[in-house]
Chains A and B, each alone.
Chain A
Amino acid sequence: MTVHLNAELSELRVERSGPKRRKVIGSTEEADEYDPSSQLDPKFGIDVEDVDADRVFPSPENFSGTGSSSVQQPPRRVTFTSRMKDDLEALFHLTRDASPPKRRVRSLRVVRATYGFGDAPGDGFGAAILLADGKIYYRHGVWNSLISNEHSSNYRELRNLVESLEKAAEAGLLTNTEVRLFSDNTTAEAAYFHGSSKSRQLEASAFGSQARHHHPGYSCVWKKNDSGQRGWCVPW
Protein backbone atom coordinates (compact mmCIF):
# COMPACT_ATOMS: atom_id res chain seq x y z
CA MET A 1 0.00 0.00 0.00
CA THR A 2 1.32 3.47 -0.90
CA VAL A 3 -0.03 6.73 0.53
CA HIS A 4 0.41 10.10 -1.19
CA LEU A 5 -0.34 13.27 0.75
CA ASN A 6 -0.77 16.42 -1.29
CA ALA A 7 -0.87 19.36 1.10
CA GLU A 8 -1.95 21.92 -1.45
CA LEU A 9 -4.97 20.02 -2.61
CA SER A 10 -5.79 18.66 0.87
CA GLU A 11 -6.25 15.34 -0.72
CA LEU A 12 -5.30 11.96 0.61
CA ARG A 13 -4.84 9.24 -1.93
CA VAL A 14 -4.84 5.60 -0.98
CA GLU A 15 -3.70 3.20 -3.63
CA ARG A 16 -3.53 -0.53 -3.40
CA SER A 17 -1.21 -2.38 -5.68
CA GLY A 18 -2.07 -5.73 -7.18
CA PRO A 19 -5.32 -6.98 -8.53
CA LYS A 20 -7.46 -5.30 -5.87
CA ARG A 21 -9.47 -2.17 -6.56
CA ARG A 22 -7.92 1.30 -6.57
CA LYS A 23 -9.53 4.22 -4.72
CA VAL A 24 -8.84 7.95 -4.67
CA ILE A 25 -10.83 9.50 -1.89
CA GLY A 26 -10.68 12.05 0.87
CA SER A 27 -11.41 15.38 -0.84
CA THR A 28 -13.79 17.82 0.80
CA GLU A 29 -16.46 17.26 -1.82
CA GLU A 30 -16.35 13.53 -1.29
CA ALA A 31 -16.58 13.95 2.47
CA ASP A 32 -19.85 15.81 2.05
CA GLU A 33 -21.20 12.90 0.09
CA TYR A 34 -20.09 10.33 2.65
CA ASP A 35 -22.35 7.33 2.87
CA PRO A 36 -22.10 5.50 6.24
CA SER A 37 -23.25 2.27 4.68
CA SER A 38 -20.11 2.11 2.51
CA GLN A 39 -17.86 1.54 5.61
CA LEU A 40 -15.54 4.21 4.26
CA ASP A 41 -13.89 6.69 6.59
CA PRO A 42 -13.92 10.07 4.78
CA LYS A 43 -11.43 11.61 7.20
CA PHE A 44 -8.61 9.19 6.58
CA GLY A 45 -9.72 7.66 3.32
CA ILE A 46 -9.46 4.09 4.57
CA ASP A 47 -11.79 1.36 3.56
CA VAL A 48 -12.28 -0.50 6.84
CA GLU A 49 -13.62 -3.58 5.17
CA ASP A 50 -10.73 -3.67 2.72
CA VAL A 51 -8.02 -3.23 5.38
CA ASP A 52 -9.34 -6.08 7.50
CA ALA A 53 -9.73 -8.36 4.52
CA ASP A 54 -6.33 -10.01 4.99
CA ARG A 55 -6.72 -10.56 8.74
CA VAL A 56 -7.69 -13.89 10.19
CA PHE A 57 -9.67 -13.69 13.40
CA PRO A 58 -10.06 -16.83 15.49
CA SER A 59 -13.49 -17.88 16.51
CA PRO A 60 -14.42 -17.47 20.20
CA GLU A 61 -14.17 -21.23 20.66
CA ASN A 62 -10.60 -21.34 19.36
CA PHE A 63 -9.39 -18.12 20.98
CA SER A 64 -6.38 -18.70 23.28
CA GLY A 65 -4.78 -15.31 23.63
CA THR A 66 -3.35 -13.75 26.77
CA GLY A 67 -6.27 -14.79 28.89
CA SER A 68 -6.24 -15.66 32.55
CA SER A 69 -5.35 -19.25 31.78
CA SER A 70 -1.85 -18.22 30.65
CA VAL A 71 -1.11 -16.08 33.75
CA GLN A 72 0.68 -17.84 36.56
CA GLN A 73 -1.22 -17.57 39.82
CA PRO A 74 0.63 -17.02 43.13
CA PRO A 75 0.68 -19.80 45.68
CA ARG A 76 -1.50 -19.73 48.75
CA ARG A 77 1.50 -19.27 51.04
CA VAL A 78 4.86 -17.59 50.39
CA THR A 79 8.15 -17.83 52.23
CA PHE A 80 9.56 -14.86 54.13
CA THR A 81 12.74 -13.40 52.72
CA SER A 82 15.88 -13.01 54.79
CA ARG A 83 15.56 -9.23 55.17
CA MET A 84 11.95 -9.29 56.36
CA LYS A 85 12.91 -9.36 60.04
CA ASP A 86 15.16 -6.33 59.74
CA ASP A 87 12.56 -4.44 57.75
CA LEU A 88 9.91 -5.18 60.34
CA GLU A 89 12.16 -3.90 63.10
CA ALA A 90 12.70 -0.70 61.16
CA LEU A 91 8.98 -0.27 60.54
CA PHE A 92 8.21 -0.91 64.21
CA HIS A 93 10.72 1.76 65.12
CA LEU A 94 9.27 4.26 62.65
CA THR A 95 5.73 3.62 63.92
CA ARG A 96 6.65 3.52 67.60
CA ASP A 97 4.67 6.67 68.48
CA ALA A 98 1.21 6.27 69.98
CA SER A 99 -0.20 8.85 67.60
CA PRO A 100 0.87 9.65 64.04
CA PRO A 101 3.63 12.27 64.07
CA LYS A 102 3.12 15.49 62.22
CA ARG A 103 5.22 16.10 59.16
CA ARG A 104 5.70 19.44 57.51
CA VAL A 105 4.72 19.21 53.88
CA ARG A 106 4.82 22.91 53.03
CA SER A 107 6.40 25.41 55.36
CA LEU A 108 4.56 28.62 56.16
CA ARG A 109 7.87 30.42 56.45
CA VAL A 110 10.02 30.88 53.42
CA VAL A 111 13.75 30.53 53.89
CA ARG A 112 16.62 30.29 51.52
CA ALA A 113 17.66 26.80 50.60
CA THR A 114 20.99 25.98 52.16
CA TYR A 115 23.73 23.73 50.96
CA GLY A 116 26.84 22.16 52.30
CA PHE A 117 29.68 19.82 51.60
CA GLY A 118 31.10 16.91 53.50
CA ASP A 119 34.12 14.72 53.04
CA ALA A 120 36.07 12.23 55.09
CA PRO A 121 39.43 11.58 53.47
CA GLY A 122 41.96 9.46 55.29
CA ASP A 123 41.71 9.71 59.05
CA GLY A 124 39.94 13.06 59.13
CA PHE A 125 36.49 14.40 58.41
CA GLY A 126 34.83 17.71 57.87
CA ALA A 127 31.66 19.36 56.67
CA ALA A 128 30.45 22.89 56.11
CA ILE A 129 26.89 24.14 55.63
CA LEU A 130 26.03 27.63 54.50
CA LEU A 131 23.05 28.63 56.63
CA ALA A 132 20.09 30.75 55.66
CA ASP A 133 21.37 33.78 57.57
CA GLY A 134 24.65 33.71 55.67
CA LYS A 135 26.71 32.19 58.45
CA ILE A 136 28.66 29.00 57.96
CA TYR A 137 28.28 26.00 60.20
CA TYR A 138 31.35 23.80 60.06
CA ARG A 139 32.53 20.71 61.80
CA HIS A 140 35.82 18.89 61.43
CA GLY A 141 38.06 16.48 63.27
CA VAL A 142 40.01 13.26 63.23
CA TRP A 143 38.49 9.82 63.65
CA ASN A 144 39.56 7.88 66.67
CA SER A 145 41.51 4.69 66.13
CA LEU A 146 38.47 2.48 66.66
CA ILE A 147 36.58 4.03 63.75
CA SER A 148 39.51 4.59 61.45
CA ASN A 149 40.84 1.07 61.84
CA GLU A 150 37.70 -1.03 62.03
CA HIS A 151 35.31 0.75 59.70
CA SER A 152 35.36 1.30 55.96
CA SER A 153 35.86 4.63 54.24
CA ASN A 154 32.28 4.47 52.99
CA TYR A 155 31.03 4.17 56.53
CA ARG A 156 33.13 7.14 57.62
CA GLU A 157 31.82 9.20 54.71
CA LEU A 158 28.20 8.49 55.54
CA ARG A 159 28.68 8.94 59.26
CA ASN A 160 30.32 12.30 58.68
CA LEU A 161 27.38 13.50 56.58
CA VAL A 162 24.75 12.17 58.97
CA GLU A 163 26.40 13.51 62.12
CA SER A 164 27.06 16.89 60.56
CA LEU A 165 23.40 17.28 59.69
CA GLU A 166 22.32 16.00 63.09
CA LYS A 167 24.58 18.36 65.01
CA ALA A 168 23.37 21.31 62.97
CA ALA A 169 19.75 20.23 63.42
CA GLU A 170 20.19 19.78 67.18
CA ALA A 171 21.53 23.31 67.37
CA GLY A 172 18.35 24.54 65.72
CA LEU A 173 20.13 25.79 62.63
CA LEU A 174 18.12 23.79 60.12
CA THR A 175 14.58 24.50 61.27
CA ASN A 176 12.29 25.15 58.31
CA THR A 177 15.24 24.75 56.04
CA GLU A 178 15.81 22.72 52.96
CA VAL A 179 19.34 21.37 52.88
CA ARG A 180 21.30 20.15 49.92
CA LEU A 181 24.31 18.26 51.09
CA PHE A 182 26.95 17.28 48.57
CA SER A 183 29.23 14.32 48.78
CA ASP A 184 31.71 12.66 46.45
CA ASN A 185 30.94 9.22 47.87
CA THR A 186 28.31 7.41 45.84
CA THR A 187 28.15 4.44 48.22
CA ALA A 188 27.21 6.60 51.18
CA GLU A 189 24.68 8.48 49.12
CA ALA A 190 23.15 5.24 47.81
CA ALA A 191 22.94 3.80 51.33
CA TYR A 192 20.96 6.79 52.46
CA PHE A 193 18.82 6.92 49.36
CA HIS A 194 17.94 3.22 49.49
CA GLY A 195 17.72 3.06 53.27
CA SER A 196 19.82 -0.06 53.28
CA SER A 197 23.15 -1.40 52.15
CA LYS A 198 24.94 -4.70 51.82
CA SER A 199 27.15 -3.43 54.62
CA ARG A 200 25.42 -3.80 57.97
CA GLN A 201 27.29 -0.83 59.39
CA LEU A 202 26.21 1.40 56.53
CA GLU A 203 22.67 0.11 56.79
CA ALA A 204 22.48 0.88 60.49
CA SER A 205 23.80 4.37 59.94
CA ALA A 206 21.43 4.99 57.04
CA PHE A 207 18.48 3.75 59.05
CA GLY A 208 19.51 5.89 61.97
CA SER A 209 19.47 8.97 59.79
CA GLN A 210 16.10 8.02 58.33
CA ALA A 211 14.59 7.31 61.73
CA ARG A 212 15.94 10.40 63.44
CA HIS A 213 14.60 12.62 60.69
CA HIS A 214 11.22 10.97 60.72
CA HIS A 215 9.69 13.86 62.64
CA PRO A 216 11.32 17.16 61.63
CA GLY A 217 10.54 19.18 58.60
CA TYR A 218 12.05 18.74 55.26
CA SER A 219 15.60 18.32 54.17
CA CYS A 220 17.36 17.09 51.13
CA VAL A 221 20.48 15.24 50.18
CA TRP A 222 21.88 15.76 46.76
CA LYS A 223 24.42 13.62 45.11
CA LYS A 224 27.17 15.47 43.43
CA ASN A 225 28.38 14.09 40.14
CA ASP A 226 31.16 15.08 37.82
CA SER A 227 29.04 17.50 35.83
CA GLY A 228 28.20 19.23 39.10
CA GLN A 229 24.51 19.96 38.58
CA ARG A 230 22.42 16.85 38.36
CA GLY A 231 21.26 15.01 41.43
CA TRP A 232 18.15 13.97 43.24
CA CYS A 233 16.33 15.05 46.29
CA VAL A 234 15.37 12.85 49.22
CA PRO A 235 12.60 14.10 51.51
CA TRP A 236 13.27 13.35 55.15
Chain B
Amino acid sequence: MFEQTKWVKAKAKLQWVSDQLESGPDVEYKPLESIRGFLMYVAQAYPPMIPYLRGFHGTLDSWRPNRTKDGF
Protein backbone atom coordinates (compact mmCIF):
# COMPACT_ATOMS: atom_id res chain seq x y z
CA MET B 1 0.00 0.00 0.00
CA PHE B 2 1.16 3.49 -0.77
CA GLU B 3 2.20 5.52 2.26
CA GLN B 4 -0.18 8.13 3.57
CA THR B 5 2.56 10.72 3.98
CA LYS B 6 3.65 10.35 0.39
CA TRP B 7 0.07 10.53 -0.81
CA VAL B 8 -0.39 13.85 1.02
CA LYS B 9 2.95 15.02 -0.30
CA ALA B 10 1.89 14.27 -3.86
CA LYS B 11 -1.30 16.26 -3.43
CA ALA B 12 0.63 19.18 -1.97
CA LYS B 13 3.03 19.17 -4.89
CA LEU B 14 0.15 19.14 -7.36
CA GLN B 15 -1.35 22.09 -5.53
CA TRP B 16 1.95 23.96 -5.79
CA VAL B 17 2.02 23.43 -9.55
CA SER B 18 -1.59 24.53 -9.82
CA ASP B 19 -0.81 27.72 -7.90
CA GLN B 20 2.12 28.42 -10.19
CA LEU B 21 -0.09 27.85 -13.23
CA GLU B 22 -2.62 30.37 -11.97
CA SER B 23 -0.01 32.94 -11.03
CA GLY B 24 1.74 33.09 -14.38
CA PRO B 25 2.64 31.44 -17.67
CA ASP B 26 5.99 30.11 -16.49
CA VAL B 27 7.46 28.19 -13.58
CA GLU B 28 10.86 27.48 -12.13
CA TYR B 29 12.54 24.55 -13.83
CA LYS B 30 14.19 22.73 -10.93
CA PRO B 31 11.19 22.47 -8.56
CA LEU B 32 9.00 21.31 -11.42
CA GLU B 33 11.57 18.70 -12.39
CA SER B 34 11.64 17.46 -8.80
CA ILE B 35 7.85 17.25 -8.70
CA ARG B 36 7.77 15.35 -11.96
CA GLY B 37 10.17 12.78 -10.54
CA PHE B 38 8.06 12.31 -7.43
CA LEU B 39 4.85 11.97 -9.43
CA MET B 40 6.50 9.36 -11.63
CA TYR B 41 7.23 7.46 -8.45
CA VAL B 42 3.57 7.74 -7.41
CA ALA B 43 2.46 6.63 -10.86
CA GLN B 44 4.34 3.38 -10.39
CA ALA B 45 1.66 2.45 -7.86
CA TYR B 46 -1.17 4.11 -9.81
CA PRO B 47 -0.62 3.58 -13.55
CA PRO B 48 -3.75 5.53 -14.60
CA MET B 49 -1.80 8.66 -13.69
CA ILE B 50 0.89 8.01 -16.29
CA PRO B 51 -0.83 9.59 -19.34
CA TYR B 52 -1.41 12.81 -17.43
CA LEU B 53 2.25 13.41 -16.67
CA ARG B 54 2.76 14.47 -20.27
CA GLY B 55 2.08 18.08 -19.37
CA PHE B 56 5.08 17.95 -17.04
CA HIS B 57 7.28 16.30 -19.66
CA GLY B 58 6.28 18.81 -22.30
CA THR B 59 6.72 21.81 -20.02
CA LEU B 60 10.16 20.74 -18.85
CA ASP B 61 11.36 20.16 -22.40
CA SER B 62 9.60 23.12 -23.98
CA TRP B 63 12.84 25.13 -24.03
CA ARG B 64 14.51 22.71 -26.42
CA PRO B 65 14.57 23.56 -30.13
CA ASN B 66 12.04 22.27 -32.67
CA ARG B 67 9.23 21.75 -30.16
CA THR B 68 5.53 22.31 -30.63
CA LYS B 69 3.31 24.25 -28.25
CA ASP B 70 2.85 21.02 -26.27
CA GLY B 71 6.60 20.72 -25.77
CA PHE B 72 7.03 17.67 -27.99
Contact = CB atoms under 8 A, between A and B. Distances in A.
A92 B26 contact: no
**A interface SS class:** loop
Interface in B24-72: 25-29, 32, 39, 45-56, 58-60, 62-64, 69-71
Interface in A188-236: 194-196, 210-211, 213-214, 235-236
B51 A80 contact: no
Contacts of A100: 1-4, 6-7, 45
Interface extent on A, as a size class? 35 or more
Given A85-B21, A102-B1, A94 B70 contact: no
B48 A94 contact: yes
A77 interface: yes
Interface of B: 1-4, 6-7, 10-11, 14, 17-18, 21, 25-29, 32, 39, 45-56, 58-60, 62-64, 69-71
Interface of A: 72, 74-88, 90-92, 94-95, 99-103, 194-196, 210-211, 213-214, 235-236
